[in-house]
Chain A
Amino acid sequence: AQSVTQLDSHVSVSEGTPVLLRCNYSSSYSPSLFWYVQHPNKGLQLLLKYTSAATLVKGINGFEAEFKKSETSFHLTKPSAHMSDAAEYFCVVSDRTSYDKVIFGPGTSLSVIP
Chain B
Amino acid sequence: GAVVSQHPSWVICKSGTSVKIECRSLDFQATTMFWYRQFPKQSLMLMATSNEGSKATYEQGVEKDKFLINHASLTLSTLTVTSAHPEDSSFYICSARQRGPSSYNEQFFGPGTRLTVL
Contact = CB atoms under 8 A, between A and B. Distances in A.
Where chain A touches its partner, the secondary structure class is loop
A49 B106 contact: yes
B105 A41 contact: no
B75 to A, nearest CB: 17
A60 to B, nearest CB: 14
Interface bin, chain A: 20 to 34
B110 A43 contact: yes
Interface of A: 32, 34, 36, 41-44, 46, 49, 51-52, 90, 94, 98, 100-102, 104-107
A100 B32 contact: yes
B104 A43 contact: no
A36 B43 CA distance: 11
A94 B32 contact: no
Contact of B105 (A52, A98, A106): A98
B103 A51 contact: yes
Interface of B: 6, 32, 34, 42-46, 49, 91, 93, 97, 102-107, 109-112, 114
Contact of A32 (B44, B49, B106, B111): B106
Contacts of B112: 41-43
A44 B104 CA distance: 18
Contacts of B93: 43-44
Contacts of A94: 104-105
A32, A51, A101: most-surrounded residue (chain B CB, <10 A): A101
A93 B67 CA distance: 26
A101 B107 CA distance: 9
B106 A44 contact: no
Given A42-B112, A90-B43, 16 more contacts: A32-B103, A32-B104, A32-B105, A34-B106, A36-B109, A41-B114, A42-B111, A46-B106, A94-B105, A100-B49, A100-B102, A102-B107, A104-B43, A104-B44, A104-B45, A107-B43
A100 B44 contact: no
